[in-house]
């Protein structure tokens, strides 16, 4: 069956995976309905659009109407033109208000990053999982304050109409209600962990503080009474409570593990009572999760933030409070353990600890008080490190195995180790006048230690709350102040295993739900009264029966208190009594098949919850044994001692009150106020304050468990909407009339359902007048809904002043009638549209063919033009190629010619340089050969001298053995020795003179080396210029000619140098005949040096100068060597002709023998060594230096 889209009916159907999915109604009967639904694969694909996502198919499904409320499929609130879900800011404006409509409206706004939605006076806050700067800007806060507070009196309508939903409207209206009406206000924020309750409370508090500041800034009234310090303290108290009361859980990294009710205290202005001044605040806390101190899921969850902050602080900081924290982190304490998170909300634990210390200082906790306070926290940490084991002497007793940890704990608490050990491993039971010491097993001792740790942390937390209140509470009579309260408490909880804590939390939610239901009823009552609807039409269900089941005299918790008082009270005994006493309660669930003696259930407003009563009695007792309390009370830590003392005093006073009626029976140490009694008392006080105030509700919703933006999980969201009371509030608001439409919309949408004969009566009506619209709407609905008229004449609708309210199924019936009435005109419209569509297609096809023909011929013409242009371009290109080839040929020819000339120049230069080098080095090698032969001669002479020395030594030894002289011969020999000494003395003087001249020559040679270095630099510069000269062929040629002339001059000079060298050799040969050849050698050195200097001056512009200098130095060295050889030969000749040798020859056949030959030999060795110093060492050094310069400059090594 084909229908026009405007006539289609869009509905929601139930789905096991996605709860509710959109569908298109195809056909409907009394029991069944056929719909077309898209085959969705994930919730992300379900965006509120009725068009299937790409790649997704549709399927036809038949559903049973009995599975739906009032046996009617819930209708969608779609936009007329695109049939997608129409998101609205206030869900009261939804035409079809039901569970599915609420879900998809919230989802559509969540995808658009609109986290806030109204449902009347209720604000629903969906956690966006990202910070929206514009939404919380200073301008936006000011806008809400100005519109809802300062300018609201100027408007006749609801000032919220022009404002999008926001929690700022709750805080602004609360401020306005207190300032103008003088009625205390309260803002109730609820939701499950991770929904954003704590952040919402902070946003509201900041906005209220900003309203106060704006008031004094704009109006400038009561400025003197504005105390910014109070505002700072009030706002900064929140981070303190988070540090000590929040923890990381699986659902939320910064989850509040307690409930709190903060009352802001305002004082009315003296000049204008409607202007308020924030004077202080007071905080009440509920149900701190003490069990988290001793147990949490390792690495996934964490205990309270303060433990991680303290242990993450730098060692110099944390050791100020307790020295044993040096080098310790969370892994050193069992209660804390490892963690996978080291920062919360972008701030690491170390930085957060610094902020916590600053906040503590702001409320007056610093110095020794701060140290005592944090040491109390350390006591809790240290208790967790105690371990217990069985006593080796008695298995029924236990001992503390970790003695070192016990010693540290005792020092920290100021309690003796023996007292601590006895208190933790035994139990002192007092019954009447008897005291019995009962040993504890290791398991019981550990449980006792954990109980002490939980109790200590609870008392420390309460001490902190009292300290905050003392710093922030206004002075004077508190009743004279106006209050705005903000409640942040756990939402409804239902887990696989629910215990005592869940029962307390759900009871609090039941009490709040009762107030919520009453408040919603009042608002509905006011709306119906304004619309002129009779009040007897309104009926609703409340949760009184659930509250009675829990808190009545025979209720569950009364039975639990009674079981705690009994000596042998047990969890199973409590369950049996509770089920027997309340068996007729409609809220109690009694398991048909008992699998446990401690199981029972309650039908809460948010759903059925089954409870496991294991541990109910122990948890309800909530007290420490007397000996444990007395031990803790003896601690030197003032906070621990005083807080435990307060607990003891409170228990004693409570026991005294309960024992007034029976003076004979004395209370034992096991009797104390129960946890339920204390919790019920504080909850009654809270409800009393809330009843005196005008309440505003903010319901926080966690859209997904992934903590990602723009994703909404249907099942999780619906569960929270039900548990927060939003669904029940909608049900209550629409209990009598679930749907409503404005009169103008009814007339526009259903006008054609009225027969024309009745429509004639409308001619007398002005459809723009509200009263006439009401009459026309009533006439239309009376006729259209006549089949739904009840047996008692009860209509299916009620007409109000601006709207019509429909009973269940009435609006759906109207929609089905509208669908049937539009079928015939729809067929005609479809036929006309199809004809128009066909004509449009034919005309479009004709134009397309004409366009194709035009494009064909136009393309052919363009092809011919392009070919002609291509031919002309190719012709022009060929001309350019010819010119280019000719130019390249000329350039190549010129380049070849130039290259030929360059190669010729290079060849000429190569031959000239080679010829010059060969001639030059041939002469050098000849001279070298000659000098080598001279060196060989010197070596041979030296060998002969050494041989002569050995022979002389042998002769002297023989002469010494044959000495036999008389006294006269001794006198003659002495005179000869005297003469020899004189000669040796003269020779020594000559040697000293020669050594001095030798040193002077060495100095001059060093000076010559300094002169050679600049010459080396000049040589390098000449080499660079030589390279540049190669670039120009003509200049290279001229340089070549000059080089030839210079080579000729060099040859001539070389010949002159050879002649000079021969002359020097002759002079050296003549001088070698003298006794002192070294002195003559000095003159030869000076002459040689003069020639070297002349040569340097003459050839300073020649690159070969260094080589010539080397050659000259080598010649001088050879001449000096020859001079040394001649001097040695002269010395040997003189020695042979000496008187000693004559005596030796006389003694052995005419040769005389020498007396005291050892002394003469030593003097002779000294003379020989002195003469040896005149030789080549000095010259060799200088020559070596010149040779080094030669190697660097010329690149050769001879």
**φ, ψ for residue 741 (rounded to 5)?**
-140, 145
649 is in an annotated binding site: no
Which H/E stretch holds residue 799? strand 797-799
Compute CA distances 521 → 94, 147, 699, whole Å: 19, 28, 18
Burial of 372 (0-12, 13-18, 19+ CB in 10 A): middle
**Residue 766 in 3-state DSSP?**
coil
CB distance 198 to 488 below 8 Å: yes
Q: Give the residue from 644, 620, 617 showing the smallest Cα distance to 631.
A: 644
Read out DSSP for 454-481? Answer: HHHHHHHHHHHHHHHHHHHSPSS-GGGS
859 annotated to a ligand binding site: no
| Nearest to 1108, CA basis, from 1118, 1097, 1120 | 1097
Helix (H) or strand (E) holding 126, with range, is strand 122-126
Residue of 1052, 1051, 1123 whose CA lies nearest to 1087: 1123
* DSSP string for 525-579: HHHHHHHT--GGG-----SHHHHHHHHSTTSHHHHHHHHHHSTT--HHHHHHHHH
List the structure tokens of 340: 């996978």
169 neighbors 116 (Cβ within 8 angstroms): no
Class of residue 1082 by CB neighbours under 10 A (exposed 0-12, middle 13-18, buried 19+): buried
306 CB-near residues (< 8 Å, 6+ apart): 243, 244, 356, 377
Contacts of 514 (CB under 8 A, 6+ apart): 542, 543, 544, 547
Q: Is the separation of the CB atoms in 225 and 271 below 8 Å?
A: no
Is 392 marked within a binding site? no
User: Helix 99-111 crosses helix 726-733 at what angle (to 10 degrees)?
Assistant: 130
How far apart CA 776 and CA 759 sit, in angstroms, is 9
C-alpha to C-alpha distance for 360 and 467, rounded to whole angstroms: 9
**End-to-end CA distance of the chain, in Å?**
116
Query: Is 601 among the annotated ligand-binding positions?
Result: no
Q: Is 249 annotated as a binding residue?
A: no
Distance CA 99, CA 724 (A): 13
Contact 809, 834 (CB under 8 A): no
d(CA 975, CA 832): 166
Say how far apart CA 92 and CA 732 lie, in whole Å.
12
Yes or no: say if 438 and 426 are a contact pair by the CB < 8 Å rule: yes
**Coil, strand or helix: which one is 351?**
helix
Look at strands 185-191 and 434-439 and give their pairing: unpaired
| 195 among annotated binding-site residues | yes
The answer to whether the CB of 931 falls within 8 A of the CB of 1118 is yes
Residue 191 marked ligand-binding: yes
Would you say 835 is a known binding-site residue?
no
Question: How many angstroms separate the Cα of 534 from the Cα of each of 731, 740, 799?
Answer: 19, 16, 10
Sheet-wide strand order for 9-15: 9-15, 19-28, 32-38, 58-64
Query: Is-contact 1122 1068, C-beta < 8 A?
Result: yes
| DSSP H stretches of helix in 697-784 | 714-723, 726-733, 743-750, 756-759, 770-784
Which residue, 96, 92, 93, 95, is CA-closest to 20? 96
Binding annotation for ATP: 191-198
Binding site feature residues: 191-198
């Amino acid at each position: 069956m084909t229908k026009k889209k405007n006539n289609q009916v869009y509905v929601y159907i139930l789905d096991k995976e996605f709860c509710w999915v959109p569908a298109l109604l195809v056909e409907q009967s009394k029991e069944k309905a056929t719909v077309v639904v898209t085959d969705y694969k994930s919730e992300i694909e379900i965006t509120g659009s009725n068009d299937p996502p790409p790649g997704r198919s549709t399927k036809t499904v038949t559903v049973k109407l009995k599975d739906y409320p009032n046996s009617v499929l819930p209708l969608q609130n779609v936009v007329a033109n695109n049939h997608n879900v129409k998101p609205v800011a206030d869900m009261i404006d939804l035409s079809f208000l039901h569970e599915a409509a609420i879900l998809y409206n919230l989802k559509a706004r969540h995808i658009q990053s609109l986290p806030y939605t109204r449902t009347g006076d209720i604000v629903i806050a969906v956690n966006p999982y990202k910070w929206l700067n514009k939404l919380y800007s200073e301008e936006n806060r000011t806008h809400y304050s100005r519109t809802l507070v300062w300018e609201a009196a100027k408007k006749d309508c609801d000032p919220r109409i022009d404002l999008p939903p926001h929690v700022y409207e709750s805080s602004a209206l609360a401020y306005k209600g207190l300032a103008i009406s003088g009625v205390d206000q309260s803002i109730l924020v609820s939701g499950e962990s991770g929904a954003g309750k704590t952040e919402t409370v902070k946003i509201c508090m900041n906005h209220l503080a900003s309203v106060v500041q704006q008031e004094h800034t704009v109006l400038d009234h009561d400025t003197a009474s504005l105390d910014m310090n109070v505002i700072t303290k009030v706002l900064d108290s929140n981070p303190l409570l988070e540090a000590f009361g929040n923890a990381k859980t699986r659902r939320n990294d910064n989850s509040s593990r307690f409930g709190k009710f903060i009352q802001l205290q305002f004082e009315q202005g003296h000049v204008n009572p409607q202007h308020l001044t924030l004077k202080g605040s007071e905080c009440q806390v509920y149900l701190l999760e003490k069990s988290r101190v001793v147990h949490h899921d390792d690495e996934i969850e964490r205990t309270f933030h303060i433990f991680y902050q303290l242990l993450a602080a730098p060692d110099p900081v944390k050791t100020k409070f307790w020295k044993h924290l040096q080098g310790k982190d969370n892994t050193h304490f069992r209660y804390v353990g490892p963690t996978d998170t080291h920062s919360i909300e972008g701030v690491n634990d170390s930085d957060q600890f610094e902020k916590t210390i600053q906040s503590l200082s702001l409320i007056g906790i610093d110095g020794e008080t701060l140290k005592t306070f944090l040491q109390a926290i350390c006591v809790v940490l240290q208790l967790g490190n105690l371990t217990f084991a069985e006593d080796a002497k008695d298995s029924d007793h236990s001992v503390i195995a970790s003695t070192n940890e016990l010693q540290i704990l005792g020092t920290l608490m100021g309690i003796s180790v023996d007292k601590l050990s006895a208190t933790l491993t035994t139990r002192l039971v007092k019954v009447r006048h008897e005291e019995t010491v009962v040993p504890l097993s290791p398991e019981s001792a550990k449980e006792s230690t954990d109980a002490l740790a939980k109790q200590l942390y609870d008392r420390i937390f309460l001490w902190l709350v009292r300290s905050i209140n003392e710093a922030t509470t206004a002075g004077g009579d508190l009743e004279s102040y106006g209050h705005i309260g903000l409640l942040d408490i756990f939402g409804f909880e239902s887990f696989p295993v629910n215990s005592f804590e869940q029962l307390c939390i759900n009871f609090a939610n039941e009490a709040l739900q009762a107030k919520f239901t009453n408040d919603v009823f009042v608002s509905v009552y006011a709306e119906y009264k304004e619309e002129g609807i009779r009040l007897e039409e309104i009926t609703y269900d409340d949760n009184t029966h659930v509250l009675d089941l829990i808190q009545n005299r025979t209720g569950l918790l009364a039975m639990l208190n009674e079981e705690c008082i009994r000596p042998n009270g047990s969890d199973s005994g409590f369950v049996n009594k509770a089920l027997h006493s309340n068996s007729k309660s409609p809220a109690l669930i009694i398991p048909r098949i008992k699998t446990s003696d401690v199981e029972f259930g309650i039908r809460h407003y948010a759903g059925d919850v089954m409870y496991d009563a294991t541990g109910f009695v122990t948890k309800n007792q909530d007290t420490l044994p007397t000996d444990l309390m007395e031990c803790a009370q003896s601690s030197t830590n003032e906070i621990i001692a005083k807080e435990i003392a307060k607990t003891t005093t409170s228990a004693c006073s409570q026991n005294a009150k309960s024992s007034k009626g029976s003076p004979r029976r004395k209370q034992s140490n096991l009797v104390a106020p129960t946890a339920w009694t204390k919790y019920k008392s504080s909850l009654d006080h809270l409800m009393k304050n809330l009843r005196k105030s005008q309440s505003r509700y903010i319901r926080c919703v966690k859209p997904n468990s992934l903590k990602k933006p723009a994703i909404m999980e249907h099942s999780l969201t619906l569960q929270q909407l039900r548990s927060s009371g939003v669904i029940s509030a909608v049900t209550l608001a629409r209990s009598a009339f679930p749907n409503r439409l404005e009169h103008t919309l009814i007339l526009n949408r259903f006008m054609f359902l009225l027969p024309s004969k009745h429509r004639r009566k409308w001619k007398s009506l002005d459809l723009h007048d509200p009263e006439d619209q009401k009459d026309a709407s009533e006439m239309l609905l009376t006729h259209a809904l006549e089949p739904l008229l009840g047996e008692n004449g009860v209509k299916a609708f009620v007409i109000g002043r601006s709207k019509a309210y429909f009973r269940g199924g009435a609006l759906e019936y109207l929609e089905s009638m509208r669908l049937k009435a539009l079928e015939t005109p729809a067929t005609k419209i479809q036929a006309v549209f199809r004809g128009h569509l066909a004509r449009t297609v034919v005309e479009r096809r004709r134009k397309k063919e004409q366009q194709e023909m035009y494009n064909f011929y136009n393309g052919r013409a363009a092809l011919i033009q392009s070919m002609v242009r291509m031919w002309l371009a190719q012709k022009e290109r060929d001309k350019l190629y010819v010119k280019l080839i000719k130019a390249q040929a000329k350039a190549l020819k010129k380049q070849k010619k130039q290259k030929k000339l360059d190669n010729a120049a290079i060849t000429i230069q190569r031959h000239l340089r080679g010829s010059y080098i060969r001639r030059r080095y041939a002469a050098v090698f000849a001279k070298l050969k000659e000098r080598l032969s001279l060196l060989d001669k010197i070596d041979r002479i030296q060998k002969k001298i050494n041989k002569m020395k050995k022979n002389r030594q042998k002769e002297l030894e023989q002469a010494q053995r044959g000495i036999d002289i008389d006294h006269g011969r001794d006198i003659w020999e002495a005179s000869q020795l005297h003469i020899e000494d004189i000669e040796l003395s003269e020779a020594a003087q000559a040697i000293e003179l020669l050594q001095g001249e030798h040193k002077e020559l060495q100095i001059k040679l060093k000076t010559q080396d300094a002169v050679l270095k600049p010459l080396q630099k000049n040589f390098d510069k000449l080499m660079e210029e030589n390279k540049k000269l190669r670039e120009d062929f003509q200049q290279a040629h001229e340089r070549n000619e000059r080089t030839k002339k210079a080579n000729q001059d060099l040859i001539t000079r070389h010949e002159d140098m050879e002649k000079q060298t021969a002359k020097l050799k002759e002079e050296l040969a003549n001088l070698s005949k003298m006794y002192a050849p070294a002195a003559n050698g000095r003159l030869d050195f000076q002459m040689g040096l003069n020639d070297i200097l002349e040569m340097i001056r003459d050839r300073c512009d020649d690159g070969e100068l260094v080589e010539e200098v080397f050659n000259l130095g080598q010649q001088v060295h050879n001449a000096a060597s020859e001079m040394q050889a001649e001097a040695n030969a002269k010395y040997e000749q003189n020695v042979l002709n000496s008187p000693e040798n004559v005596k030796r020859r006389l003694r052995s056949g005419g040769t005389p023998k020498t007396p005291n030959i050892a002394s003469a030999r030593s003097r002779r060795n000294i003379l020989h060594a002195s003469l040896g110093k005149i030789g080549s060492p000095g010259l060799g050094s200088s020559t070596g230096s010149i040779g080094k310069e030669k190697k660097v400059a010329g690149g050769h090594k001879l």
